Amino acid sequence: MVYNFNAGPSILPKEVLDEASRAILDFNGTGLSILEIGHRTPAFESVMHEAISLTKELMQLGPDKEVMFLHGGATTQFFQVPMNFLDVHGVAAYLDGGIWGSKAAKEASLYGHAEVVASSSDRQYTYIPKGFKVPSDASYLHITTNNTVEGTQMWHFPDVDVPLVADMSSDILSREMDFNRFSLIYAGAQKNIGAAGVCMVVADKSFISRRVRKLPAMMDYGKHIENGSMLNTPPVFAVYVCLLTLRWLKSKGGIKGIEDENLRKSSLLYDTLDALPQFRPTVAKEDRSQMNVVFVMDDPEAAEEFLALCDKERMVGVKGHRSVGGFRVSLYNAMPFESVKVLTDLMRHFAGKH
């Protein structure tokens, strides 16, 4: 058995993989593969409509919200958001809590002034900045709710008088929250929603109407909404895997059900790390991520030995991001508790020998 702790693309539910593999050969008895059906046929239109409907249901979105499934991943949203909403003479506020927030602010600076209102770079992004002020004339405040590389997560969101935009790529649908408080949410699918190749965007109709410049159709959120996420050929298979994953999440008791499982998994791993002096978590306790657990070992030789042991036991994806080092264990929605238990047992065994 392989234990997949990859940070993304990441583990998918077995039920989703089974259903998707069947659809590759024969989609819903059509005799056609999901890879070759027309995207404007009733067969695929029903997929898109159900995926949008399930997203609204699971997130309990209000009537003013629109859901889109777009090309380009979250990185495209780094520039599509300011392209739509940041005027060349305006300002947008950015919270720099990690590598992705920093990159988003850099892209925004191409379209106007991107003001970094707070940053945790002074301590290698090991905490979430708090108590910052946002310019009252800002077009929006951009935050990253979970920092995949550094292992921090926002547990409290700023109460601001400007539109709130959130990159939720690595913790979308993993915990209950009021999704309606955000003017725009975007999330690359390849962690909690589905397969790589599609990005989910949730936005207020009223916010979308604030577009500040004429845009190419593919960059205009309004055009995508008008065309039901099918302005051009959508990433058909990736959207279908999203639908299957959303169905799976609903069967698990929705976001509340999966949040309880995620808390159980992360508590086991953090309790183990805190109990074993050989391993040292790097993140401030109050800002620890449930999705991406980052830690180091102060003995380089022991760290190499532990990484080799993980490889031997077929635990993949535990090596830390190249910019941070150490170890990173990702516990996305589809990660079974039993896999985390196998890892923590191995950690205890290793610590006992050292």
**What is the per-residue pLDDT for 322?**
84
The whole-number pLDDT of residue 109 equals 98
pLDDT on residue 34: 98
The answer to whether 194 touches 209, Cβ cutoff 8 Å, is no
- Tokens 């003001």 map to which residue? 115
- 199 DSSP 8-state letter: E
Query: What's the pLDDT score for residue 354?
Result: 82
pLDDT of residue 196: 97
Please tell me the predicted confidence (pLDDT) of residue 344: 98
Residue 343 and residue 329 in contact, taking contact as beta carbons nearer than 8 Å: yes
Cα separation values, 276 from 64, 171, 269, 281, 316, Å:
49, 27, 11, 10, 22
Query: Can you give 110-172 as a three-state secondary structure string?
Result: CCCEEEEEEECHHHCCCCCCCCCCCCCCCCCEEEECEECCCCEECCCCCCCCCCEEEECCCCC
3-state SS assignment for residue 59: helix
State pLDDT tens for residues 290-317: 999 999 999 999 999 999 999 999 999 9
Confidence (pLDDT) at 96: 98
- Residue 71, pLDDT score: 96
For residue range 97-133, list pLDDT tens digits in order: 999 999 999 999 999 999 999 999 999 999 999 999 9
Confidence (pLDDT) at 70: 98
Q: Which residues are catalytic?
A: 100, 167, 191
User: CB within 8 A of 165, min separation 6: which ones?
Assistant: 81, 140, 141, 142, 143, 182, 183, 184, 185, 186
**pLDDT on residue 324:** 86
Domain ranges of the chain: 14-251, 254-353
Domain covering 14-251 assigned CATH 3.40.640.10 in the classification: yes
Tokens of 33: 């593969």
- Residue 283 is predicted with a pLDDT of 97
In the chain, which residues have pLDDT < 70? none
Task: Please report the pLDDT score of residue 242 as a whole number.
Answer: 98
What is the pTM (predicted TM-score) of this model? 0.97
* CATH no., domain 254-353: 3.90.1150.10
Any residues with CB less than 8 A from the CB of 159 and at least 6 apart, and which? none
Tokens of 194: 């589905």
